[in-house]
Structure 1
Amino acid sequence: MTASLQHPDFGELLRVSARIGCLSFGGPAGQIALMHRELVEDRGWISEDQYLHALNFCHLLPGPEAQQLAIWIGWKLHGIRGGLAAGLLFVIPGALVILALSMLYGAAAHLAWFAALFLGIKAAVLAIVAGAVLRLAGRALGTDFRKGAALVSFLALFLFNAPFPLVVIGAGAVGWIAARWRPALLGLTGEAAAAPDTPRPWGYSARAVLIGALAWAAPMAAVLALLGRDHVLWRVGVFFSKLAVVTFGGAYAVLAYMAQQAVSAQHWLTAAEMADGLGLAETTPGPLIMVTQFVGYLAAFRSPAPFTPLVAGLLGAGLTTWVTFAPCFLWVFALAPWIERLERAQLLKGALALVTSAIVGVVANLSAWFALQVLFHDLRPVWPGFSLPVPASFDWRAGLIAALSGWAVIGRKWNVIPVLAGAAVGGWLLAQIS
C-alpha cells in the first residue's frame, strides 16, 4: 500500500499546509477530516493506516490533536523542518485572525452594539458546547464503567469545584489499574500486542526534549530577567505553560479549568468575556485552544505597565501562543519515533480510555458553567464553589437564541460559522426591541 504513496517536495508541502491552515474551521473533527481529504484521499502522501495510527498517537498527547497530527505529517514527509512548517502554518492563520479580533474586542468591548452582537454569539456557543458533549459521549462511553467515570468527573467539578488536573490524573490512574486487572471494564480485550523489533530511539528523543524545552522556556527566561515574577506577563506565561501539560481531551476539556483560574483566581477577565472569547475562537481557523491568546491579550492589555496597552496586549498574546503551542512540537518530535510501541501499550491505552471518559464529564461541566453565565444575570452561592441561578434573572433573549442554535447545530448538523453569524445578528436585533 505504501509503495504507491507520493512524496511531495518541500515547497509543495508548504503550499498545502498553508491551505489547510486557512481552511481549518469546525474544530478538531472538521480539521482532522480536512487533512484526511487533502493528504490521504486527494494527494496520497500518507496512507490510511499511517494516518489512523498517527491520529491515535496524537490522542495520547496533551494539546490540540489536530495540530499535532499536522506536525507529525510534516515530520513524516520532511523531518524536523517539515514538522515545523506544517505545524506553524496550521496555527499562524488562525492566530493572526484571533489577534485582530482580540484587539477589536479590547477597544470596543464596552460599546452597546458590540455587547448586543456577543449576546447572540455566547448563546450560540452554549449550543455548540452542548453538541460537543453529545459527540464525545457517543464516542467515549462504551461501557457502564466509563459512563460512571464521566458522571463522577462531572459531579466532582460542578458540585465541588475539584481541580481539573486532579480529575484527569485520577481518571488516568484508575484506568491504568483497570487495564491491568479488569480490561473488559474499559472495553479492552486484554491482549497486548508484541512490541516491534527495532532499536529504541532514546538519543533522538532526548535531543528533541532538550532542544524543545529550551525553546519553550526561552521567552519566559527573558520575561523573568527583564520584568520579574510580579509582572502579568510572567503570571500569564506560567499559567498557560502549566495548562499546556494537562490539556488532554481537546480544548473544551480544559476551558472550564482555564475559565475558573483566569476569571476567579487571576481576575484577568469576567465570565461573560471568557464566553465571548470562545465565540471568537469558534469563528476562526486553527485549533480552538487559540482562545488562550484572547485571554493573554486582555490580561496584559489591562495591566500594561511599563508598556502601552496595545504593546502589552501584543506581548501577552504572543507569549501565550508560544507557551501553548511550543510543547506540541516537543511532544511530537520526541515521541513520533515511538509511535508503533505506544500503539501497543495496553496499560497506557487503559489510562487514556478512562481519561477520555472523564473528559465527557469535564466538557459537560463546561456546558453547565456556560449555561449559568449566559442564561442568567444573577447567581446565588450555595456553598463554596457552587452557585445556583436566580430564576427571575433569566435572559429570555439568550434562551431563545440558544434554543434555535441548538436546533441548527445539534438537530440539523449545520456548520457553526453561519450559526454564529446568524446568532450575532439575532442578538443585535433582539437588543433593539427589548
Structure 2
Amino acid sequence: MEENKNIVSYSLKDLVLYFLKLGTIGFGGPVALVGYMHRDLVDKYKWISEDDYREGMALSQLAPGPLAAQMSIYLGYVHYKFVGATLVGLAFVLPSFLMVLALGFAYAEFGGFPAMQAIFYGVGAAVIGIITLSSYKLTTKSIGSDKLLWGIFVVLAVFTFLLEEENMWLIIASGVLVWFMKAPPNFMMAKSFRMIVPPLLLSLPLVDTDNNRLWQITLFFTKAGAFVFGSGLAIVPFLYGGTVKEYQWLTEQQFLDAVAVAMITPGPVVITVGFIGYLAAGIWGACAAAAATFLPCYIFTVLPAPYFKKFGKHPAIKAFVDGVTAAAIGAIAGSVMVIGKRTLVDIPTILIALSTGIVLFKFKKIQEPIIIIAMAAVGLLLKLVLNF
C-alpha cells in the first residue's frame, strides 16, 4: 500500500508540456490559473493529490511571490524536486515572456504612431476598470471583517494615494504589528522566525552603488519579486513608484500601457516586468527584469517546501502574512487611485473605465483580454475615425 502511494503516474516531460501549454493559452489572472491547475492536475489527470495541491496553495499565499508562478514551481517540486520545479517554472513563464518581448519591440518601434496611441487610449482606461474591480475582489476576499486588517488597509491606501509611492517598511511593519497582536512572538522559536527573516532582508533599501542601468534594473526587480504577496497586482504600486517616480525609466502612460500588456497576454500578470525592462534597457533589460523578479519567487518556494508541512501553519507566520497582505492590498488600492487620477482625463476614458468594471462584474465569464481588445477598438474609433 505504501509503495502505491509513491508511484508517479506522469513523467516530468508530461508536466513540463502541460505548463508550457498553460503558459501559452492560460488567460484570466492568478486565481483563474491556479483554478485550471486544480481542474486538470488534481481532478482530470490525477497527477497531483488534493493534499499536495492545498499545501502548495498555502505556501504560495504565505511566501512572497506571484501566486500562479509559485504554484507551478511547487507542483513541479512535488514529485520531481528541484529539477521539476526549475523546468516547470521556466515552461510556465517563458511563453508569456516571449510575447511581452515581441510586444515591447512593437511598442518601442511604433509607439509614436497615431494608431498605436489610439489603441492604448482605450486600453489604458479599460485597465483602470479592470484593476479597480480586481482590487475590490482582492480586498473583500482577503481582509474579511477583521478590524485590525481594515485599519492597516485604510492607512496604506491613504498613504500611497497622498504620497504617490508605496513604503516597503510600512508594509513590513504591518506584518509585524499583526504578528505581535495576534500571536505574540516567542523569539526562541528560531525555525519559525527564519521563515520571516528572508523577506525582511530582501526589503532593505536599495543602494545605488553603480550607475549601470542593467545593475539598477536587476537590484530593483529583485526587490519587486520579494515584495509580491498572493497576486500579481500587488506589484503594481511598487513598480509604479520605482520605474516612474524614482528612476524615471518610463512615463506614466508607458507604465499604464505595460499593465495593459500584462492583461492581454496569457500566463502570470507579473510578466509585465519583461515589457518594462525592454522599454528601460532593451532585450537585456527585459531578461534582467524577468530573471530578477522570478528568482526570489523560485527560492521562496523550493527552499521551504520540504519543511512546510511541519511549520507552515504556525500562528506567528500566518499572522505576519495576514498583516503584510492587508498592507499590500491597501497599497494596491491607493495605487489604483493615483493611476486613475492621471488616466481618466476626459468623459470617454471615464466611461470606458466604468463600463469595463460593470461588464466584468456582471458577466463573470467574460475574460479580460476580450474587454481589452474591445476597448482598443473603441480607442481607434474615437481617435482616428471621430477625431475626438
> TM > 0.5 between the two?
yes
Q: Give the match for residue 411 of structure 1.
A: 362
- The 3 A distance-change label for structure 1 pair 5 and 158 is farther
Q: Distance in 2 between matches of 1:326 and 1:162?
A: 24
Q: Distance in 1 between matches of 2:214 and 2:5?
A: 50
Q: Distance in 2 between matches of 1:161 and 1:365?
A: 8
| One of 369, 372, 377 as aligned partner of 1:420 | 372
Q: Give the match for residue 177 of structure 2.
A: 174
Matched residue type, 1:368:
M
Give the conservation status (yes or no) of the 8 Å contact 2:226–2:297: no
Q: Give the match for residue 282 of structure 1.
A: 263
Give the conservation status (yes or no) of the 8 Å contact 1:401–1:427: no
| Identity %, equivalent residues | 28
**Per-residue Cα deviation, 1:36-66 (whole angstroms, up to 9, x for no partner):** 1110111111122221121011111111121
- Report the Cα offset of residue 6 of structure 1: 5.2
Matched residue type, 1:407:
I
Unaligned runs of 5+ in 1: 183-194, 210-223, 301-312, 377-394
- Report the Cα offset of residue 181 of structure 1: 5.0
| One of 151, 155, 166 as aligned partner of 2:154 | 151
Structure of greater Rg: 1
Matched residue type, 1:400:
L
Q: Give the match for residue 392 of structure 1.
A: none
Matched residue type, 1:231:
N
| One of 81, 84, 104 as aligned partner of 1:82 | 84
| One of 9, 17, 20 as aligned partner of 1:15 | 17
Q: Give the match for residue 343 of structure 1.
A: 312
Q: Distance in 2 between matches of 1:162 and 1:342?
A: 34
Give the conservation status (yes or no) of the 8 Å contact 2:27–2:33: yes
- Report the Cα offset of residue 5 of structure 1: 7.7
- The 3 A distance-change label for structure 1 pair 155 and 31 is same
Q: Does 1:323 align with 2:292?
A: yes
Q: Distance in 2 between matches of 1:256 and 1:344?
A: 29
Q: Distance in 1 between matches of 2:232 and 2:264?
A: 15
Give the conservation status (yes or no) of the 8 Å contact 2:8–2:79: no
Q: Does 1:353 align with 2:353?
A: no
Q: Distance in 2 between matches of 1:54 and 1:45?
A: 14
TM norm structure 2: 0.89
Q: Distance in 2 between matches of 1:10 and 1:22?
A: 18
Matched residue type, 2:67:
E
- Report the Cα offset of residue 342 of structure 1: 3.0
- Partner of 1:331, secondary structure, is helix
| One of 189, 194, 211 as aligned partner of 1:230 | 211
Give the conservation status (yes or no) of the 8 Å contact 2:9–2:47: yes
Matched residue type, 1:342:
F
Matched residue type, 1:106:
A
| Aligned residue runs from structure 1 range 124-203, under 5 A | 124-142=126-144, 143-161=146-164, 163-180=166-183
Give the conservation status (yes or no) of the 8 Å contact 1:172–1:354: yes
Q: Distance in 2 between matches of 1:417 and 1:254?
A: 20
Unaligned runs of 5+ in 2: 199-207
| One of 98, 121, 142 as aligned partner of 1:96 | 98
Q: CA RMSD in A?
A: 2.4
Q: Distance in 2 between matches of 1:33 and 1:249?
A: 14
| One of 250, 258, 271 as aligned partner of 2:239 | 258
Matched residue type, 2:333:
A
Give the conservation status (yes or no) of the 8 Å contact 1:40–1:47: yes
Once the two structures are overlaid, the 10-residue window that deviates more, 423-432 or 151-160, is: 151-160
Matched residue type, 2:275:
F
Aligned pair count reads 365
Once the two structures are overlaid, the 10-residue window that deviates more, 1-10 or 335-344, is: 1-10
Once the two structures are overlaid, the 10-residue window that deviates more, 129-138 or 103-112, is: 129-138
- Partner of 1:151, secondary structure, is helix
Give the conservation status (yes or no) of the 8 Å contact 1:57–1:342: no
